[in-house]
Amino acid sequence: MNRINLSFIVIVTIFTLSLHADESDLLLDGFDDTPIKNIDINTTEDKTMLDGFTGKITQQVAYSFDTEEPHEDISSFKTSLFLDYEHKFDNGFRFKTNAKAYYDTIYNIRGKEEYSSQELHELNDEVELFDAYLEGSIADKLDFKIGRQVMIWGRSDTIRVTDILNPLDNRRPAMVDIEDLRLPVAMAKLDYFIGDWRVTPIAILEQRFSKSPPFGSAFSPAPAPMPEDEDYSDTTYALSIGGEFTGWDINFYGARVYNDVGVVNPTLNIEHKKINMYGTALNILSGSWLFKTELAYFDGLEYFSTKDTSFSRSDMLVGFEYKGIADTLISYDFALRHINDWDNRLLNEFNPIEEDTYQNAFRISSDFLNATLTGNYLISLYGKSLDEGGFQRLWLKYQIADGINANVGLIDYIGGSRIFDGIKDNDMVYADISYSF
């Protein structure tokens, strides 16, 4: 089906159905996570240490249309188990931890000899600890949180500009949103409240980097296995200062962290250099409209063939969210990344690096059937003329019964650059059913 026609049909359908629902209000979510002082600590009554366990079992299948062997047809048949534990102590402290394990049976069905060892190692099975932290209030205006956690900077749900503290799991790109891709990192942070302001110093105790598609997988454009990341055990630091006011809020950010993008060093490992980041994010709420902007400046960036030369980069994001239509959210984000003192040697990289990088993301989501059915559409395109690749995803979430949910989606990868041309034939349809307990 023509991509433009698909986009038009999706948008018109969701708009038409949503016009018959009741109008709802837009709430300004603000930045970062919920302050400890807003957490109800009275739920500890009559509970034991074992009462905080919850979990979810999910079975997912993915079908690829034109992907080459061995990833054609049914490309994944994955069973996942997610376990979560939370306990609130009498003194108001809260401990939370969760872990996820999955096993993809397709590798046994097809035969493991058909796949690269790197793909089997990364995608056949996995057990990983996610969140694991303790939080609480030290004093009336001072909270703490220590352990593996996700720290969200900025406001965009689709494009990352100031949101740099947590790496992403990009091994199966575009299948889920950023909120489900962030990898927790061990941090220690304090929140000090001064009127409407919150000052948050952060010590990053664990150095993790984003996960890329493994060599040999359907989404790996690399002609050979990528080197391993160097290990780092030192502590890096960040600071957030934010204020929340009637109708608007603002945050200022600063960080000295390892660059998530590394360079290949003489020992053929990926070396990650430290960079400085300074940024700000602003939200303004006006009726049914939420306007947002993010600005970030990065210093000390290095690239593969120019690793003796460092660059700075200025990033900007502007966007809006609209909830004037009942039970419907419409959002659009635009980001521009500009490399200062750009060098034309950057065009010689495997994935050429332009002086300016443009990204657009349009999203619409609407609830139906008393919020038991949610229709979603997202399109993300790169390039000044929207012609440098991207993807579009259409998916439906349906609550079958209490604790039982189904999810069906279609992903269309769009060529236009070397990276996206390598995966444009990976269009797929996927479905999963989950049971929460």
Q: Which residues contact 2 (CB under 8 A, 6 or more apart)?
A: none
d(CA 74, CA 430): 9
d(CA 342, CA 354): 8
d(CA 339, CA 342): 5
Q: What are the structural domain ranges in the chain?
A: 3-436
User: Are 238 and 251 in contact, with CB atoms under 8 Å apart?
Assistant: no
Please give the helix or strand (H or E) that residue 395 lies within, else none: strand 390-401
Q: Is 410 left (phi over 0), alpha (psi -120 to 50) or beta?
A: beta
d(CA 312, CA 314): 7
Residue 333: strand pairing partners: 319, 361
Q: CA distances (Å), 410 to each of 15, 104, 391, 402, in order?
A: 19, 20, 11, 25
Structure tokens at 358: 């443009």
Backbone angles phi, psi at 134, to 5 degrees: -120, 135
48-83 residue pLDDT tens: 667 899 999 999 999 999 999 999 999 999 999 999
pLDDT of residue 22: 42
Task: Name the residue type at position 317.
Answer: L
The list of the chain residues with pLDDT below 50 reads 1-2, 4-31, 41-44
d(CA 11, CA 245): 34
Backbone angles phi, psi at 124, to 5 degrees: -70, -45
pLDDT of residue 369: 95
Q: CA distances (Å), 85 to each of 175, 206, 416, in order?
A: 26, 22, 44
- DSSP 3-state assignment of 418? helix
User: Which CATH class, in words, describes the domain spanning 3-436?
Assistant: mainly beta
Q: Which of 161, 174, 186 is nearest to 336 (CA)?
A: 161
The answer to whether the peptide bond before residue 167 is cis (omega within 30 degrees of 0) is no
Please give the helix or strand (H or E) that residue 392 lies within, else none: strand 390-401
d(CA 362, CA 183): 24
- DSSP 3-state assignment of 171? coil
pLDDT of residue 15: 41
Q: Which of 57, 105, 115 is nearest to 78 (CA)?
A: 105
Decide: residue 264, CB within 10 A, 0-12 exposed, 13-18 middle, 19+ buried: middle
d(CA 168, CA 174): 12
pTM for the full predicted model: 0.86
Structure tokens at 321: 């969210």
User: Are 47 and 40 in contact, with CB atoms under 8 Å apart?
Assistant: no
Q: Which residues contact 107 (CB under 8 A, 6 or more apart)?
A: 115, 120, 123, 124
d(CA 36, CA 65): 47
d(CA 284, CA 294): 12
